[in-house]
Amino acid sequence: LFPGASGQYPLVQNLTVTEGGTANLTCRVAHNDNTSLQWSNPAQQTLFFGDKKALRDNRIELVHASWSELTISISDVALSDEGMYTCSLFTMPVRTAKAYLTVLGVPEKPQINGLTNPALEGDHITLTCITQGSKPAADLRWFRNEKEIKANISGAKEVNASGKTFTVQSSLQLHVDRTDDGVAYTCKVDHVALTQKPQQATEVLEVHYAPQVEIIHSLAVPQEGQYLKLECVSKGNPLPDPVIWTKDGGELPDLDRMIVEGRELTFTSLNKTDNGTYRCEASNLLGTSNAEYVLFVYADPNALGQHSTDHALIGGVVAVVVFVTLCLIIVLGRYLARHKGTYLTNEAKGADDAPDADTAIINAEGNHAHTEEKKEYFI
């Protein structure tokens, strides 16, 4: 060892920086006897010797220079700046330390190709997501309305012509149905250089499909006199409009009480004549669909109660009249029976002493008159 060389060893660290960022290269010496420090690039070009700049590059600046430390900065770092940097301590012999500068290539914003808008229900389509410029190679992930997709995905990674960055591609296979209408498919880039600014692309899929129809009714048990609304809920793309209402295969019979407004059929006051099968039909360019509702109007329970009361009252009156009539008939019968008995008795009394019928009647009348006299006497 030469005098003064003991303990004089430069210390450096490897560094990773994102493309376009700033790299600070620091070289330190624990014990230095006024020996100069120097930084050189991977091409062995001297950048700084002490505090003296040796290479004309506006991106390279001196940060700190002393006998124990030499720190320089490289701004707007490019992929070409990557490599082994050397810090030299000019002792006898010269002592060096090497730091590797890694530059991360930032992937470009991805692009999604292969989207056909609008797609038809039942179609098979392939969405392809591509991003370039990543180093190391980026990873691509697919999402359906923020939920990650794991199946039906294939991918490839290719090195670009520069030999430093990658082009990454990922494909998603879709069998389109109506549930895909309005769904957002997103391709996200995962990369170590994207810690704060994520890269992603989103496409919203439009799907055309035939209508699907459903009838919603406002009453569970429709009754006479009630208000009823039937709503024809039709889903389809393009939207089927207008809808057509029919009853029992024909036109609606009573448009005064059956009001059609848009998709709604309204009955202002139900009655038994409204019973039947109502159909709602909707169409678009891809097909026709219909739904049916069987209407049965039940009697109003309140009206039934009133009719029962009226019938009971009428029945009571009739029963009284019949009873009174029967009583009158019985009394009249008894009266007639009593008078007929008296006549026969008097005739019999007169016949006891009479030689013939005429004399018997006369005797009976005489006896009757005598009886009346006796009654007046005793009274």
Predicted pLDDT at 337: 74
pTM (two decimals): 0.67
Q: Look at the alpha carbons of 66, 67, 71, 72 in this order and tell me if their dihedral is positive or negative.
A: positive
- Cβ neighbors of 84 (< 8 A, separation 6 or more) are 42, 98, 99, 100, 101
- Condensed to tens digits (0 to 9), the pLDDT of residues 57-74 reads 999 999 999 989 999 999
pLDDT in tens, 70-113: 999 999 999 999 999 999 998 888 999 999 999 999 999 999 99
Q: Are 41 and 55 in contact (CB under 8 A)?
A: yes
- 175-216, pLDDT tens digit by residue? 999 999 999 999 999 999 998 778 999 999 999 999 999 999
Q: Average pLDDT, whole number, for the chain? A: 85
The pLDDT of residue 116 is 86
Q: Provide the 10 A C-beta neighbour count for residue 295.
A: 17
What tens digit of pLDDT does each residue of 296-341 get? 999 988 765 555 555 667 777 887 888 788 888 888 877 777 765 5
pLDDT for residue 338: 73
User: CA dihedral in degrees (295, 298, 302, 303; nearest 10)?
Assistant: 110
Kindly report which listed range (124-138, 193-207, 365-379) carries the lowest average pLDDT score. 365-379
Q: What is the CATH number of domain 210-295?
A: 2.60.40.10
10-104 shares its CATH topology with 210-295: yes
Tokens describing residue 164: 């430093």
Higher per-residue confidence, 279 vs 241: 279
Mean of pLDDT values over 16-37:
90
Structure tokens at 28: 């330190």
Whole-number pLDDT of residue 345: 47
pLDDT of res. 347: 46
In the chain, domain spans:
10-104, 111-205, 210-295
* Best CA proximity match to 221, nearest among 306, 151, 296: 296
Which pair of tokens denotes residue 251? 């036109």
CATH fold group of domain 111-205: Immunoglobulin-like (2.60.40)
Pairing assessment for the beta strands 15-18 and 95-104 based on DSSP bridges? parallel
| Average pLDDT score over residue span 137-149 | 95
The predicted structure's pLDDT at residue 5: 43
Instruction: Give the per-residue pLDDT at 377.
Output: 38
Check the CA dihedral 135-140-145-146 and report its sign.
negative
**CATH topology classification for 10-104:** Immunoglobulin-like (2.60.40)
SS3 of the chain: CCCCCCCCCEECCCEEEECCCCEEEEEEECCCCCCCEEEECCCCCEEEECCEECCCCCCEEEEEECCCEEEEEECCCCHHHCEEEEEEECCCCCEEEEEEEEEEECCCCCEEECCCCCEECCCEEEEEEEEEEEECCCEEEEEECCEEECCCEEEEEEECCCCCCEEEEEEEEEECCHHHCCEEEEEEEECCCCCCCCEEEEEEECEEEEEEEEEEECCCCCECCCCEEEEEEEEEECCCCCCEEEECCECCCCCCCEEEECCEEEECCCCHHHCEEEEEEEEECCEEEEEEEEECCECCHHHHHHHHHHHHHHHHHHHHHHHHHHHHHHHHHHHHHHHHHHHHHHHHHHHCCCCCHHHHHHHHHHHHHHHHHHHHHHC
How far apart CA 252 and CA 209 sit, in angstroms, is: 29
User: Is the pLDDT at 139 greater than 80, yes or no?
Assistant: yes
Distance (Å, whole) CA 284 – CA 282: 7
**Half-sphere exposure of residue 195: CA atoms within 13 angstroms, side-chain side:** 5
pLDDT band at 292 (very low <50, low <70, confident <90, very high): very high
According to the model, what pLDDT value does residue 309 have? 56
